[in-house]
Chains A and B, each alone.
Chain A
Amino acid sequence: QTVVTQEPSFSVSPGGTVTLTCGLSSGSVSTGYYPSWYQQTPGQAPRTLIHSTNTRSSGVPDRFSGSILGNKAALTITGAQADDESDYYCVLYMGSVMVFGGGTKLTVL
């Protein structure tokens, strides 16, 4: 069974840049997996940041960007702010099913 992998935790300084990744336990992530990214704060529904690798959802600031880096999908946050401290999840579309990664807890300090 294919597992979608994410870093369990990451930290970034305010104003800094951080790249979170989304990989596969076996194989490489490509645009054909339509990687998407979601931000979730405690008690709230997820917010869609990026879909189809690099398309920002409506209202998402351009300091959030998506890409493919090597064999993984990536979410880059440029100029991190305190309210970016959240859990971040990626999803890969595998034909007829979607699979979530385990999530990355991002700390801004």
Chain B
Amino acid sequence: QVQLQESGPGLVKPSETLSLTCTVSGGSISGYYWSWIRQAAGKGLEWMGRIYSSGSTNYNPSLKSRVTMSVDTSKNQFSLKMNSVTAADTAVYYCARGQTAMVYWGQGTLVTVSS
């Protein structure tokens, strides 16, 4: 069974860069699409973007200028970086697998942007 686990700092200062990693277990990262999704408290889900195992990316146009995704197939991990964060970026961040849908999900990690 494929499992995904998000990790990274739970607190980021305003204007700094948020960095998260998703570790995949129970299966290979190769040959699949991997997404990041976030959810602010009391709000809906927002797809942030995805990366294929080859490294090709697609981003949500509303976040494209601030987001970078990367993949490390040797570690079975993929990562998210988002720069110039503000309090509005405080959310639970999820990683997920799937090409046309999110089929497997991580449990999510809360990132708070605060000084």
Contacts and interface: CB of A to CB of B under 8 A. Distances in A.
A91 B44 contact: no
B34 interface: no
A48 B102 contact: yes
Contacts, number: 60
Contacts of A89: 44-45
A96 B58 contact: yes
A52 B101 contact: yes
Contacts of B108: 45
A98 B47 contact: yes
> At the interface, is chain A mostly helix, strand, loop or mixed?
strand
Interface in B33-88: 35, 37, 44-47, 50, 58-61
A93 B102 CA distance: 10
15 contacts: A34-B101, A38-B45, A48-B103, A89-B44, A91-B102, A96-B58, A97-B58, A97-B61, A98-B35, A98-B47, A98-B102, A100-B37, A100-B44, A100-B46, A100-B47
Interface of A: 34, 36, 38, 40, 45-48, 51-52, 57, 89, 91, 93, 96-103
